[in-house]
A and B are shown apart, each in its own frame.
Chain A
Amino acid sequence: MTDATASTPAAPASGRRQSISLFRQDAHTKRRNAAETRFKAYGLTAVLVGLFFLIVLFGSIISNGLPAFTRTVVELELTLTQEQYEEAESKLLKTGAYRDFFIAAFDRELEERGVEVEYDAAALERILGKIGGNLREFYTANEDRLGQPVDFELSTSSRIDGYFNGRLKREDVRDSRFLMSTDLDLADELYAAGIMKSDFNWNFITGADSGVDNPGGAGIGASVVGSFFMMIVVLVLSLPIGVAASIYLEEFAPKNRWTDLIEVNISNLAAVPSIVFGILGLAVFIQFAGLPQSAPLVGGLVLTLMTLPTIIISTRASLKSVPPSIRDAALGVGASKMQAVFHHVLPLAMPGILTGTIIGLAQALGETAPLLLIGMVGFVARGYPDGFVSGFTEANSAMPAQIYTWAARADASFYEKAWGGIIILLLFLMTMNIIAIVLRRRFERRW
């Protein structure tokens, strides 16, 4: 570029004008063309490198995350008697008692069917997941089903699950109290007999987090709900506040030192690391205002603070991009300043405002750091809130926080779940972006 502009004026002075032909390029033109070709090649390479990494990223997300969506289950018909139910309910660890009943029934079933592989009750313990919770949940809700045979599909332990989805290789198995290599022979036979099978893991999409010893019970559903409530808070607060602030600053405020100062500070605020907002949220919303810990309401408020500058900056930019002629025309036919803004400028700026808002929301959706300090990162497994209002105040997690928590757990099965969670997070983001695009199309006007 600089080369071309610097040396062109010098060319006619050297008197080479006669030798120029349209069909034969001189050395200088060749150099310029070569520079352009090179530049295009650089650009293309940059795009290709970007694409390559995108493909690698998506490839690894999908290949790592897909196993989270399937699970290995044991299918069994269980009849729980009234006495057994009462016995289990009288214990402190009720879920453990339910699990024992299931294992005993499983053992009888296998005996009847005549399984070739030798096994003991402990092997069944290792093969099955932490299923007591599911059983108790079912029977306490359906007491009338006691004494009747009920078909159950319950998850196997994370290691058996890992064996069937390819995470755990047989040769890597070292006998431990979690899994013996002989258990795999039994699992293989059960799988062949159809007692054990793989199916879609709905629980992963709808469930809540589970303890570290129960990867089969872990789901991301509750934290999706948590993220959803946080996004509602962010949207309801930051959109009106942000748009009002930028309309005032852009259209009404006098240009003086004060507004300059405010402008500089908004730009600075946009660059503040998000963890700072977390500390602020802990101090202001939890310790001062006394809002509940781990609540999506507080998370939403903190993320609102983080999103506001983004929304203000993009809203001001889109207000600025509306041609002044539109304002002048409106004012010229007698509209008041406010009418001009709300009837003419704002509708035209709407697509830009929406885009900015959705980008701000998307950024807030992926944020973990501010949530660390307000109690939303950790083990939060309350499940779904009882109602709409309690959804804001009941303890819940958020998707990125849930992914972060899973990635740190010892059982490799949770690592898979973390990747699966990323897929759900990306789907959520994509949905938001699609809504933004649809809204933008609707509001777009040409002039």
Chain B
Amino acid sequence: MSFAKMTASTLAIAAVSASAAVAQSRDNVQVAGSSTVLPYASIVAEVFGDNTDFPTPVVESGGSSAGLKRFCEGVGENTIDVANASRAIRPSEVETCAANGVEDIIEVRIGYDGIVFASQQDGPAFNAFEPADIYQALAGQLIVDGELVDNPNETWADVNADLPDVEIAAFIPGTKHGTREVFEEKVLLVGCENTGAFEAMVEMGMSEDDAEGACIDVRTDGKSVDIDGDYTETLARIDSNPEGIGVFGLAFYENNTDKLKVATISGVAPSTETISSGEYPVSRPLYFYVKKAHIGVIPGLKEYAMFFVSDEVAGPGGPLSNYGLVPDPELAATQDKVANEVTMSEESM
């Protein structure tokens, strides 16, 4: 151990002296966070670098929670300037931020992302999905004859006679993904409530929180597989399993229409149009958070944020919507917010 320490301290000394020698401030915007927002952020970063005199921002992925954690580490050049998130920041995270000196945060909503169910191009078509079907196929426990039992459904036809008679095999995002939260909230919980299972559970004496927990509890007998990697991993699993169905982002599906067949939900096929009109039920807003203390310190930070939400970039017909982002109808308000640097605490006042 003593050797390791010696080496580490030698290196640290070398590093400190090196940093003194190169004591120049960071000139690029540093972004981290959600892997769902990463594609959009990388498009904007490239175009921002191409169109302005600022260097191309660095965008890292790692997940919404990890990004916000790094965002809340403090203020200073060795912390990130922007956190991408596929969900809104939680109050607990705002508290952590404040405790570390990150008090002024600007919340920027960039648009909406659809979550789609898709299966192999050559496989059976899933065209009769309702959230209730997915809940009944994937829930850990279901209410049968007034009792909570382990999910008995083996095939999709067991759940809904209109669905193909194939074994249930679902590949859903793992718990570290923000997408999972949306899946639980907009699909499983809605399905649970639609089937009446939620009410039944409450009547059976469960508290509402427990019932909600039971609703979003996914079966663990191998019929539902958590994918902790990216959508490419889900795609690989679908590729090798003709009867499998996977959860993807709309943009990812649209880029792979030659391999994937999309399932409709309540009879509506997902597209930027059906999502922005609200017909397609499973979508969620995407955000990024800007550290106000860094504006004016890190060159190009405010310009990057303004550029991101400009009509030309995030609006209809822009490169983001062309890639699969559903434009935010209230983009103008967001632009004003960024231009005036309105923080979250000022907003709530």
Binding site for B on A (CB under 8 A): 91-96, 130, 132-133, 136-137, 168, 172-174, 176-178, 208, 210-214, 217, 237, 241, 245, 258, 261-262, 265-266, 269, 280, 284-294, 297-298, 301, 304-305, 308, 372, 375, 377-383, 389, 392-393, 395, 407-412, 415
Contacts and interface: CB of A to CB of B under 8 A. Distances in A.
Given A265-B3, A291-B19, A211 B45 contact: yes
A378 B61 contact: yes
Contacts of A407: 232
Interface string B47-81: 10111000110111110000000000100011010
A368 B52 CA distance: 31
Given A177-B322, A212-B42, A284-B8, A378 B56 contact: no
Contacts of A292: 26, 77-78
A408 B12 contact: no
Nearest to B30: A293
Given A93-B313, A265-B3, A410 B252 contact: yes
Contacts of A176: 254, 257
Contacts of B229: 408
Contact of B58 (A382, A383, A415): A382
Given A262-B3, A411-B255, A280 B8 contact: yes
A94 B50 CA distance: 8
A378 B58 contact: yes
B256 interface: yes
A308 B77 contact: no
Given A213-B323, A383-B56, A286 B4 contact: no
Contact of A382 (B28, B254, B307, B313): B28
Given A211-B43, A237-B14, A284-B12, A308 B7 contact: yes
Contacts of B59: 378-380
Nearest to B74: A287
Nearest to A415: B232
A305 B3 CA distance: 12
A291 B18 contact: yes
Interface of B: 1-4, 7-8, 10-12, 14-16, 18-19, 22, 24, 26, 28, 30, 32, 35, 38-39, 41-47, 49-51, 55-56, 58-62, 73, 77-78, 80, 121, 229-232, 251-252, 254-259, 307, 310, 312-313, 318-319, 322-323
Contacts of A261: 1-2
Contacts of B49: 381-382
B52 to A, nearest CB: 9
Nearest to B260: A174
Contact of A378 (B60, B121, B254): B60
A132 to B, nearest CB: 7
A408 B232 contact: yes
B42 A379 contact: yes
Given A375-B32, A378-B60, 4 more contacts: A133-B47, A178-B255, A211-B39, A410-B252
A304 to B, nearest CB: 7
A52 B1 CA distance: 43
Contact of B51 (A95, A237, A377): A95
Contact of A393 (B7, B22, B252): B22
B47 A382 contact: no
A265 B1 contact: yes
A286 B312 contact: no
A256 to B, nearest CB: 13
B312 A96 contact: yes
A289 B19 CA distance: 8
A27 B29 CA distance: 79
Given A379-B42, A389-B22, A410-B252, A92 B7 contact: no
Contacts of B28: 382, 395
A301 B14 CA distance: 9
A290 B257 contact: no
Given A92-B310, A95-B51, A410-B252, A174 B257 contact: yes
A87 to B, nearest CB: 14
Closest 8 CB pairs of A and B: A378-B60, A211-B46, A379-B42, A93-B312, A410-B255, A211-B43, A379-B59, A133-B50
12 contacts: A172-B258, A212-B323, A237-B14, A265-B2, A269-B3, A284-B12, A285-B12, A379-B42, A381-B42, A381-B49, A395-B55, A410-B256
A301 to B, nearest CB: 6
A273 to B, nearest CB: 15
A382 B55 contact: yes
Most buried by B among A280, A377, A381: A381
A136 B8 CA distance: 46
A174 B258 contact: yes
Contacts of A172: 121, 258-259
Most buried by B among A261, A383, A392, A395: A395
Contacts of B61: 377-378
Nearest to A375: B60
B181 to A, nearest CB: 21
A136 B51 contact: yes
A409 B61 CA distance: 12
Contacts of A212: 38-39, 42-43, 323
Contacts of A211: 39, 42-47, 319
Contacts of B50: 94-95, 132-133, 136-137
B298 to A, nearest CB: 12
A410 B229 CA distance: 13
A108 B126 CA distance: 45
Nearest to A291: B19
Nearest to B41: A379
Contact of B38 (A290, A379, A392, A395): A379
A265 B7 CA distance: 12
Contacts of A217: 46
B339 to A, nearest CB: 13
Given A93-B312, A212-B39, A289 B15 contact: yes
B58 A380 contact: yes
B232 A301 contact: no
Given A93-B313, A210-B46, A375 B255 contact: no
Nearest to B319: A213
Contact of B19 (A245, A290, A382, A409): A290
Most buried by A among B10, B28, B307, B313: B28
